[in-house]
């Protein structure tokens, strides 16, 4: 029993140190990204790249200028068009993500000539802004990287005061 308890504590500790929470004070949002990913950004954006798959998975976060949900969703293709070509996606699904109102959609496209699958979440932030979170996965790495991208997108939440 002691071994099982020790293993449980070790696994919990390993999971908590294998990722880093990246807060974005301006929007009031934070996201959990694995330590092995390369992360950089600016005041209004963040980009994280999987080092395991040599860039086969990317997460991009941007604060949007739109002030209403309808406007943010109407400009979704325009936002995606700054990163992707040949974009195809379905209608967005409204949901609650860790207590925040959000819209989620998925699709396919090309990123710098590489076929990709993507998930997009548009989140209404505590600061009243909208945050675009895009997870891109190279099609040939989708099976390997899907779980990590989904985990990152599902980790988006309000910064706890």
pLDDT in tens, 8-56: 333 333 344 478 999 887 789 999 999 989 999 887 889 999 977 567 8
DSSP three-state, residue 107: strand
Mean pLDDT computed over every residue of the chain? 85
Please state which of the ranges 12-21, 51-60, 111-120, 125-134 shows the lowest mean pLDDT.
Answer: 12-21
Q: Is 75 exposed, middle or buried (0-12, 13-18, 19+ CB in 10 A)?
A: middle
> Residue 53: what pLDDT?
59
Among the listed residues 121, 119, 123, the one whose alpha carbon sits nearest the alpha carbon of residue 159 = 123
The CATH number of 20-158 is 3.40.1000.10
Total-model pTM: 0.84
Band (pLDDT 50/70/90 cuts) for residue 108 is very high
Rounded mean pLDDT of 90-109?
A: 96
C-alpha dihedral over 154, 122, 142, 150, to 10 degrees? Answer: 0
Domain ranges of the chain: 20-158
pLDDT exceeds 70 at position 98: yes
Rounded mean pLDDT of 136-160?
A: 92
Q: What is the pLDDT of residues 81-90, one digit of tens each?
A: 999 999 999 9
| CA–CA gap between residue 47 and residue 141 (Å, rounded) | 19
């Amino acid at each position: 029993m002691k071994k099982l308890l020790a293993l449980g504590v070790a696994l919990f500790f390993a999971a908590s140190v294998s990722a880093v929470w990246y807060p974005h004070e301006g929007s009031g949002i934070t996201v959990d990204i694995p330590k092995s990913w390369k992360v950089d950004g600016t005041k209004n954006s963040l980009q994280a790249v999987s080092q395991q798959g040599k860039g086969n998975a990317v997460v991009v976060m941007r604060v949007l200028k739109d002030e209403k949900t309808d406007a943010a969703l109407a400009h979704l293709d325009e936002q995606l068009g700054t990163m992707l070509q040949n974009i195809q996606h379905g209608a967005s699904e409204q949901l609650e993500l860790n207590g925040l109102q959000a819209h989620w959609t998925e699709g396919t496209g090309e990123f710098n000539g590489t076929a990709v699958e993507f998930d997009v979440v548009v989140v209404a932030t505590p600061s009243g802004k909208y945050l675009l979170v895009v997870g891109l996965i190279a099609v040939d790495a989708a099976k390997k990287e899907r779980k990590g991208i989904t985990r990152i997108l599902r980790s988006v939440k309000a910064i706890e005061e």
